């Protein structure tokens, strides 16, 4: 891997103290890097420091494959959680779906036109319905039927496949199964779901019906990381659209589709550009 | 009261059947009225008919003070809930407040510049703080301190005052007391509250703190009619604004103020223009 | 064609006078129709009456193929512009494209999942690039290369094809050619364009570049009927998204794509549901 | 002035080169400052570096009154445009108005409740109408009637007053006079206007009437710095609201008022928090 034409992106959080920006930015510039983007945030209540810093790898004197090792002493000194990614290394995604096509369609299309810098390692489904859509976009399709009695076994196979395919993150694109805690624990903060309500309103099943019955004047969608607690993971993106008394549950489903597609796409976009940090059940988005 | 320069506005709901629009509009035109605005909606699930119809009273051959009587037979035939209002008869409002001034300021200012066609019959508060604001806008201010032991008694006096002042509707402009079921029962679908969340999320106390802790990416405000069940009445208007991890609870309070003011104002606007019908816990808004 | 399971939708405008709603609704109910939706609007400045009225054809005593003739005397009496459409007769669309796929993709996908009740009669392009996309959705593709010297001739052939295919409306889904006045005159208020700015800002070429250079904080998209004057036709739908100084022209193109897709889709939706009237260069949208 | 409880905010732009963040942040931390907020942006097309950096002055070893001098050599080395402000030093504003009260009301109210950390040095008007509003909020009111023949003379007096009052920035809160180029030249990038359209649409007089006549489906408001060219200065904030064919010009004025108030308030908020940089006719907003 050449440094040329690449940008390094460091995401780091640690207890706040003086001199953090100075020491980190010195590390970059002292090694010949030119910072192109830097965003920093300090949680004043908890005294935690968060930073996203991107620099041009051209002329940077540390090779990408040595950088992790070289930066480790500084990170250890700060007692930091951190990762470095490179703009020319594409994250690998697996997309989980059931029967609804709109979110999968959106992800595959954005990948195809070059908007999502990613490799679609797999489309995984508990139903065969969307195989032809995956094929149309040349994405490998895997069918894992899930029933009560084989769920644990199937999830085990899915996990093996995901490791084999070196998947970085999993997108639940309206996947109608609840993942077991065991599965979720394998991919902490790496499973992105789209829920069709403005959480925490309308947790659980059929949120459009719940919204219709409550008579709300807006409906929403929420993209979040999956945790053990259903619909309670760290929120990445939310948005809403106005509705009226004229909208039936069916209208909400139709209007909500557009929202779901765009909210999920925005969350994936942030993830792929390494703009998301998770801290104590919430996200910091360096947008 | 002269018919001239006035518009009559009929709000009506009844079981759906054929010929409703025809018979109602015939009633208007046969008596010389020119319909200026008509909006009709049929709830197809429950087969209920809703209509808002406005007509020019100029040249209308029934005087305003005889119209209710004249229309009654038709309404009875349809088994309808209905009311007729006139654009030149201003609804009378009482505004309940505590210490926050932003919603009261908004209501009084809109009244002053002529945007709200209403009479502000009273500003009622459990604290004396906003008396000078009421005075600045020449609105009568009444102070009813509320404590656990005098609440029932004070509410009784408030109700008497409201009847004495011939108040049509009550606006809870960030009033920090919960009205008793007895009080609410006196003014069904005539008490408008502003709640500082996108209901049904964050019901109850301190929704901005709840929002901060959950890490949502939007905050909202909801204006609704008050019923016996806290924050569960029919929703009139909702809106949201985006927030980010940078926003502290204090920032949410600040940003939310703008939302609360505008959402409440919009709900009052609909009410004053007789655009709101309530049916089975939800609203029909003829916007 | 059976009347069963169909809804008739009348769109009508005429000089305002008393009794219009009454006479029209009487026509419906007297013939056994049940009105399911009615929206009326009077332009008070110009004294023009507009109405959209929908009724259930079940039990209606006039057959759909006789209805136009039967209604004509009343329409003539009112000196009205009018049309009646039926929910079970799908409008036929031709979609014009060049090389960008996002708007075509959106239209064909919405058609496929049943959201657009329409027949896609043709996809017409001056380039061959999107043929495979059309094929994927089984839409007939026609390639009409346009050059300065053959434009008049090619447009003539396109018009012939459109008549042959009985096309009701033409969607310019980022079609990068300007249609001649002659072409436009064949389909008055039946050509729907998507322009990638909030008109009237940034008329003409490359609006995203214009937006970038001006330093606006929002970008928009506008769907409008095409007239002789470029980008000046009646506006159907507009929407915007916020941008910032961080967005390059390329980012605006990317963000704008989502807007263009949704704004165009919404305009087509209104058209297919017969919710759009045009009057003196502006639209009335019975949304 | 004590350093305690104060935050220093540096706004700086200069030609991009390596090491800028490192040297600036080292200057802060080496002198005992703790960076609480840092946002950096590089215009990759023009290779210009922009930064906003805030640090806690507690324990900072350079006193506020020496800081400008101490930082100058570094700034000169970078060939930078820069300013340092302190959170405990309030910018002083003059608000120019004519007869509309809504924007002035908004500014004075936000100041009163402590949301705007500013001193209102003067309310200046060409009409006497809003004197009582200024008085209500204890803001000094100055009446400068403007006529064709005395305009130059009156502006001269206004400028003298503004210098005398040590005004930092001027807010045109729906001021209905056009300032002369001479006046504008005295306060470059320090005069903030609110224009009632989404610029560059509807430049000049009566934008709501223009909007009504064009039949747009959204109206907007734009807050921008004033330059010699009317309505063409750098844009700070823009927002819009949806409208429909039902809205008369009068409705647009009413709906637009809410937008104008909030857009102007947001722009002032950014200014008071030192979040705005101007570069080549556009703004960088470190929001």
If asked whether residues A23 and A119 sit together in one domain, one would say: no
Condensed to tens digits (0 to 9), the pLDDT of residues B115-158 reads 999 999 999 999 999 999 999 999 999 999 999 999 999 999 99
* A69 and A101 belong to one structural domain: no
Share of residues in chain D with pLDDT > 70 (%)? 99
- Residue D2 domain flag: no
pLDDT value for A124: 98
| Crossing angle of helices A102-112 and C102-112, rounded to 10° | 160
**Are D138 and D199 members of one domain?**
yes
Q: Is residue C124 part of a domain?
A: yes
Could you write out the three-class secondary structure of chain A?
CCCCCCEEEEEEEEECCCCHHHHHHHHHHHCCCEEEEEEEEEECCCCEEEEEEEEECCCCCCCHHHHHHHHHHHHHHHCCEEEEEECCCCCEEEEEECCCCHHHHHHHHHHHCCCCCCEEEEEEECCCCCHHHHHHCCCCEEECCCCCCCHHHHHHHHHHHHHHCCCCEEEECCCCCCCCHHHHHHCCCCEEEEECCCCCCCCCCCHHHHHHHHCCCEEEEEEEECCCCCCCCCEEEEEEEECCCCCCHHHHHHHHHHHHHHHHHHHHHHHHCCCEEEECCEEEECC
Rounded Cα gap, residues D87 and C108, in angstroms: 55
Q: H-helix or E-strand containing C119?
A: strand C119-125
Q: How confident is the model at residue A2 (pLDDT cuts 50, 70, 90)?
A: low
Radius of gyration of chain D (CA): 21
Residues of A within 8 A of D37 (CB-CB) are 40-42
For residue A129, indicate whether it is catalytic: no
Q: Please check whether residue D1 lies inside any domain of the structure.
A: no
Same domain, B167 and B66: no
Report the mean per-residue pLDDT for chain B.
Answer: 96
Q: Are residues B24 and B149 in the same domain?
A: no
Same domain, C187 and C262: yes
Q: Cβ contacts (< 8 Å) between A36 and chain D: which residues?
A: 42, 44
CATH number of the domain encompassing residue D17: 3.30.70.260
Tokens of A136: 């149309």
**Which one-letter DSSP state was computed for residue C234?**
P
Of B216, B282, B283, the CB nearest to A235: B216
Residues D147 and D216 in one domain: yes
Which range has the worst mean pLDDT, A77-81, B226-230, D67-71, D215-219?
A: B226-230
CA–CA separation, D287 and D278 (whole Å): 14
Does residue A23 sit within a domain? yes
Min distance A66 CA to chain D CA atoms (Å)? 21
Q: B244 and B145 in one domain?
A: yes
CATH assignment at residue A264: 3.40.50.170
- Whether B2 shows a pLDDT value over 90: the answer reads no
What residues of D are in contact with residue A44 (Cβ under 8 Å)?
36
Q: What is the Cα–Cα distance from D196 to A132, expressed in whole angstroms? A: 51
Residue labelled with tokens 């739908």 = C237
Cβ contact A105–C109 (<8 Å): yes
Confidence of residue B45 (pLDDT cuts 50, 70, 90): confident
Kindly state the average pLDDT of the residues B35-57. 95
Cβ burial of D242 (10 Å; 0-12, 13-18, 19+) is middle
DSSP state at residue B257: H
- Does C39 reside within a domain? yes
Do B70 and B173 belong together in one domain?
Answer: no
Query: How many Cβ atoms sit within 10 Å of the Cβ of residue B284?
Result: 24
Neighbouring chains of D at 3+ CB pairs under 8 Å are A, B, C
**Is D29 in the same domain as D59?**
yes
pLDDT (0 to 100) of residue A5: 83
- Do residue A79 and residue A169 come from a single domain? no
List Cα–Cα distances, B56 to B86, B91, C173, in angstroms. 10, 19, 44
Residue among A218, A245, A282 minimizing CB distance to B282 = A245
A282 with B245: Cβ contact below 8 A: yes
pLDDT of residue C2: 58
CA–CA separation, A70 vs B201, rounded Å? 47
Q: Does B2 reside within a domain?
A: no
Which of B201, B224, B242, B248 has the most A C-beta neighbours within 10 Å, making it the best mutation to test the interface with A? B201
Q: Which residue among B26, B52, B86 closes a domain? A: B86
Number of domains observed in the structure of chain D: 2
Count Cβ–Cβ pairs < 8 Å, chain C vs chain D.
83
Which residue among D65, D86, D107 closes a domain?
A: D86
Chain D residues touching chain C at CB-CB below 8 Å: 41, 44-45, 198-202, 214-218, 220, 234-240, 244-246, 248, 281-285, 287
The span from the CA of D193 to the CA of D225, in Å, is 6
β-bridge pairing D34-43 and A48-56:
unpaired
Q: Could you give the C-alpha distances from C106 to A106, B80, C141, C268, in angstroms and in order?
A: 10, 45, 16, 11
Chain B residues with CB under 8 Å of A235 CB are: 214-217
pLDDT band of D4, cuts 50, 70, 90: confident
Question: Considering only alpha carbons, which residue of chain D is nearest residue B133?
Answer: D136
Contacts of A115 in chain C (CB under 8 A): 254
Residue C166 lies in a domain: yes
Instruction: State the complex-level ipTM.
Output: 0.95
Contact partners for chain A, using 3 or more CB pairs closer than 8 A, are B, C, D
Name which of C245, C243, C244, C287 is nearest C266 in CA terms: C287
Tokens of C208: 């995203």
pLDDT digits (tens, 9 = 90+) for A26-36: 999 999 999 99
Residue-range definition of the domain harbouring residue D45: 7-86
Written as six digits, the tokens of C198 are 């909030």
Q: Specify the pLDDT at position D2.
A: 58
Mean pLDDT, residues B180-196 taken together: 97
List, for residues D188-226, the tens digit of each pLDDT value: 999 999 999 999 999 988 999 999 999 999 999 999 999
D248/C44 CB distance under 8 A: yes
Asked whether residue A4 carries a pLDDT value surpassing 80, the answer given is: no
Q: Band the pLDDT of A45: cuts 50, 70, 90.
A: confident
In angstroms, the Cα distances linking C256 to A95, B90, C233, C262 are 25, 46, 21, 10
Q: Do B235 and A220 touch (CB under 8 A)?
A: no
Catalytic position from the list D231, D239, D251, D258? D231
Instruction: Point out the residues of chain C with pLDDT beneath 70.
Output: 1-3
Same domain, yes or no: C56 and C112: no
Indicate the residue among A86, A110, A138 that finishes a domain. A86
Residue of C nearest to A287 (CA): C246
Checking if the pLDDT of D230 tops 90, the result is no
Contacts of C30 in chain B (CB under 8 A): 22
- Judge whether B12 and B82 are in contact, CB under 8 Å: yes
Structure token pair of residue B135:
């005075």
| Residue A120 reports pLDDT greater than 90 | yes
A231: alpha, beta or left? (left if phi > 0; alpha if psi -120 to 50): left
Residue A1 belongs to some domain of the structure: no
């Amino acid at each position: 891997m050449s440094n040329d034409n690449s940008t390094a992106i460091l995401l780091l959080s640690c207890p706040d103290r003086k001199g953090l920006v100075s020491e980190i930015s010195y590390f970059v510039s002292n090694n010949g890097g030119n910072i192109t983007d830097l965003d920093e945030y300090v949680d004043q209540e908890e005294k935690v420091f968060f930073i996203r810093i991107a620099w041009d790898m051209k002329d940077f004197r540390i090779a990408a494959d040595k950088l992790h090792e070289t930066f480790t002493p500084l990170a250890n000194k700060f007692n930091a959680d951190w990762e470095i990614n490179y703009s020319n290394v594409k994250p690998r995604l697996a997309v989980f779906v059931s029967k609804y096509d709109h979110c999968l369609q959106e992800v595959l299309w954005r990948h195809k036109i070059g908007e999502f810098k990613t490799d679609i390692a797999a489309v995984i489904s508990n139903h065969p319905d969307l195989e032809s859509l995956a094929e149309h976009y040349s994405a490998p399709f895997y069918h894992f039927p899930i029933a009560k009695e084989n769920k644990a076994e199937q999830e085990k196979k899915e996990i093996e496949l995901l490791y084999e395919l070196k998947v970085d993150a999993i997108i639940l694109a309206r996947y109608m199964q609840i993942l077991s805690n065991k599965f979720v624990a394998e991919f902490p903060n790496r499973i992105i779901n789209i829920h069709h309500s403005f959480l925490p309103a309308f947790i659980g099943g059929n949120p459009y019906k719940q919204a219709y019955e409550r008579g709300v004047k807006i409906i929403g969608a929420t993209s979040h990381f999956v945790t053990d607690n259903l619909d309670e993971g760290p929120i990445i993106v939310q948005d809403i659209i106005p509705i009226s008394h004229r909208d039936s549950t069916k209208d909400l489903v139709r209007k909500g589709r557009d929202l779901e597609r765009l909210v999920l796409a925005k969350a994936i976009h942030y993830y792929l550009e390494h703009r998301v940090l998770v801290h104590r059940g919430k996200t910091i988005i360096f947008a």
